[in-house]
Amino acid sequence: MLADDMHADNVAIDVSLVGRLVAAQFPQWADLEIRRVKFDGWDNRTFRLGEDMSVRMPSAEGYAPQVEKEHRWLPRLAPLLPLPIPTPLAMGAPGEGYPWHWSVYRWLDGEIATLERIADLHHFATRLAHFLTALQRIDPAGGPPPGPHSFYRGGPLAIYDAETQQAIETLNGKIDTDAAIAVWEAALRATWLGPPVWFHGDVAAGNLLVRDGRLSAVIDFGCSGVGDPACDMTVAWTLLSGDSREAFRSALPVDDATWARGRGWALWKGLITLAEYMDTDPAKAGEARRVIEEVLADHRRGA
């Protein structure tokens, strides 16, 4: 969905709105060209401001608390991480009919990670694992615990139990529901017993940038916080596979229980996506089915 198609409380989030907000609140940038970013995710609409900046605008009320969180914490995390992350430059206020705070960031060059753009998936997986390891080692004191701002990533999987069970029921006869139940129940039993650590919360291909075939930056910390890092394992089944998945796991300080919970997070998302789109969006449904099959196969190998 392109930016001109998104609305927030009946206010179109488009180039015109961004231009008015920037001119009113940051007149020093009023003459810069504003362009839509084609792949800008779902939580936020993203626009390029000139050549060196971007504007990110929450697309719904539930994402609005992430703005202040990122402005507070990203500058503290950045010096301790081995890859670039977004640099907040300014926080915009509600205005022009737009109801929430919004952000101006320094632009990060790179393309969204896809298998075709990654030169060496094994190296990519290891580099990503080293980034997440460094993130987990940052002092979590004062960091935001799991909650609505992170959509409860970093918290217990049990909060999504009813939703997962409903999806499994909906998919009865369309997937191996017995295997899905076994994976989900194993994930629920694998309780997090460690101290809280920093997690990204949405380690997905769309939030990983590639330059010259290599992982070059990690973006979108809207779901970040301190808690259980298992939610950051999901990329092992959504983007990685085989040797690259093993390289990712080997380079991370995670135990079997954390890996099992990671499978649970990936399964939850795959199940609810397939249940929602199986009759309306073949591409999304097909990708969700692939992830589910990867998770179930990985569980069988590890059982």
Q: Hey, what CATH class is 112-302 in? A: alpha beta
Q: What pLDDT is stored for residue 58 in this prediction?
A: 95
**Which pLDDT score, from 0 to 100, does residue 11 have?**
75
Q: Is the pLDDT of residue 96 over 50?
A: yes
26-40: b or e for each residue (b if 16 or more CB lie within 10 Å)?
A: beebeebebeebeeb
Decide if 63 contacts 15 (C-beta within 8 A): no
Structure tokens at 8: 């927030």
Tokens 């997690």 sit on residue: 199
* Nearest in space to 235 (alpha carbons), one of 104, 90, 121: 121
| pLDDT reported for residue 302 | 79
30-66 tens-digit pLDDT: 999 999 997 656 689 999 999 999 999 999 999 999 9
Work out the mean pLDDT of the chain and round it to a whole number.
Answer: 94
| pLDDT for res 87 | 97
Spans of all domains in the chain: 3-107, 112-302
pLDDT per residue over 175-217, tens digit each?
999 999 999 999 999 999 999 999 999 999 999 999 999 999 9
Cβ proximity of 81 and 137 under 8 Å: no
Domain 3-107 has CATH 3.30.200.20: yes
The pTM score is 0.93
Nearest to 222 by CA among 86, 48, 131, 80: 86
